[in-house]
Amino acid sequence: MRTEPRAEQIRPLVRRVLRRLGARIIRPADVAETILIDAGRAMARSFRADGYLAMWLLDIGLVQFYNAEGDMLLAINLLESLSEQRMAA
């Protein structure tokens, strides 16, 4: 059974990774979040902080992290990460 990650599960992960990559994030409000909607359906969420971008592609469960120049620095497969966490619990 595939369980989709929820935004409240992903936001702390995104903030942690952005900080590790070098973004200066003091409080959650330092990360701007937008939702891409196509034909009434949410397709992606983006998170921007201090010149960095994280893009969560909802359909495939992937979060990609970019620097200010647009270089992809990291990609995390949420579906694999969450299923591993559930199995460990």
Per-residue tens of pLDDT for the chain, all 89 residues? 456 788 999 999 999 999 999 999 999 999 999 999 999 999 999 999 999 999 999 999 999 999 999 999 999 999 886 545 444 44
Largest distance between two CA atoms of the chain: 39
Tokens of 32: 């701007």
Q: What are the residue boundaries of the structural domains of the chain, listed by start?
A: 7-88
Neighbours of 72 (CB within 10 A): 11
SS3 8: helix
Q: Is 33 exposed, middle or buried (0-12, 13-18, 19+ CB in 10 A)?
A: middle
Q: Which pTM does this prediction carry?
A: 0.84
